[in-house]
A and B are shown apart, each in its own frame.
Chain A
């Protein structure tokens, strides 16, 4: 891996600033500035939180359904199976994030090994 590869190009960093840094810092600074006196419709904020959760859920689905890089080498059924196995263990262990992640990973690795 070359040095230039680690640094990347300035265009990508500019995109990071516009699409990543600004949208996050705006909300933090608004919280800092108007934190004391907000009394706006919290129904709006319930809706916003639901949309935000659903967007994150969509991204989680996207990584599993249209996997990037090395994850694409894992067959579809095995990826879906790993997430399902993790979810089942997560629910069985009274919502242990750790148990769910380990179960999903083990399922995927064992499946890959078994398929050869």
Chain B
């Protein structure tokens, strides 16, 4: 029961439990894939196609679409170009990092300040990559074959890998993940472009409605993923402390409120661990 904290941190089942709530009704949404021994899996291209098709098997695709619709609109109203928004989706491929980048740069933070905020937000990708790649590895897999899968890893893909991969033959899993990832990236690029043009052409009220999607979807998806007390405290305090930090007008508002709220949240976690 009491594995070392590091082992617990890397334990995939623990992580699935943390994010399991993002999958609405696992039992009611059976994954429609061919059986493991089907000849369908003989070609890597077929496996890629099955991965691509699997984006229709999850409600998270809709959540991603809405989120990236908002990111596209946010990019427009913060005066970034469409190409910039598409490149950020293609090369950054992490929603939280993208809105942190757009919002901080848009409100006049320096490149260094934005880079620090984004770097901290991106650390969460590290344990995700660590836990998801072993699912695809075979004894003969070379590290470079996993580079693209590592790039595609973000919270949605990570959740879906744990759901789909047990039903994919191990030697076809990399191709399947490439298909799944490319499908999700395509959905998000489309959403970015649609959101960008809607923000440019809609009436002010509807434009505001699309911009409001970003804080709403990120607030609720983060709240939904918050299983531990530290996460809930960090989320709530982070929101409450930001207006105070903004009053100091240091230009480091986000970093200051993030550091203070995050450290208090960690303190709560630590205090509970000590008492337990």
Interface residues of A (CB under 8 A from B): 1, 5-9, 12-13, 15-35, 38-43, 45-71, 73-74, 79, 82-83, 86-87, 90, 95, 97-98, 100-101, 104-105, 108-109, 112
Bound form: Cα–Cα A19–B6 in Å: 29
Contacts of B258 in A (CB 8 A): 51-52, 54-55, 57-58
Bound form: Cα–Cα A112–B134 in Å: 50
B12 interface residue per 8 A CB criterion: no
Contacts of A47 in B (CB 8 A): 262-263, 266
Taking a contact as CB atoms under 8 Å apart, the answer to whether A55 and B117 are in contact is yes
Top 6 nearest A-B pairs (CB, nearest first) are A69-B77, A8-B81, A57-B238, A31-B129, A51-B262, A54-B238
Taking a contact as CB atoms under 8 Å apart, the answer to whether A51 and B234 are in contact is yes
Contacts of A87 in B (CB 8 A): 219-220
Task: For A54, give its contact among B8, B209, B237 (CB under 8 Å).
Answer: B237
Taking a contact as CB atoms under 8 Å apart, the answer to whether A62 and B103 are in contact is yes
State the Cβ distance, A16 to closest chain B Cβ, in Å: 6
| Given A55-B255, A60-B219, A105-B209, 19 extra CB contacts under 8 A | A5-B81, A12-B80, A16-B92, A24-B97, A25-B151, A27-B119, A32-B129, A49-B123, A49-B231, A55-B100, A55-B262, A57-B234, A57-B236, A59-B218, A60-B239, A61-B243, A63-B99, A68-B77, A70-B204
**Most chain A beta carbons < 10 A, residue from B215, B218, B236:** B215
- Nearest-neighbor residue (CB-CB) of A23 within chain B: B119
Contacts of B81 in A (CB 8 A): 5-9, 12
Taking a contact as CB atoms under 8 Å apart, the answer to whether B99 and A70 are in contact is no
Taking a contact as CB atoms under 8 Å apart, the answer to whether A95 and B223 are in contact is yes
Within 8 A of A (CB), among B120-150: 120-130, 133-134, 143, 146-147, 150
Task: For B220, give its contact among A27, A41, A95, A105 (CB under 8 Å).
Answer: A95
State the Cβ distance, A98 to closest chain B Cβ, in Å: 8
Interface residues of B (CB under 8 A from A): 5-6, 8-10, 21, 59, 62-63, 66, 74, 76-78, 80-84, 87-88, 91-94, 96-101, 103-107, 111-112, 114-115, 117-130, 133-134, 143, 146-147, 150-151, 153, 199-200, 202, 204-205, 207-209, 211-224, 226, 230-231, 233-243, 245-246, 253-255, 257-263, 265-266, 269-270
Taking a contact as CB atoms under 8 Å apart, the answer to whether A56 and B96 are in contact is yes
> With A43-B5, A66-B107 in contact, is A24–B94 under 8 Å at CB?
yes
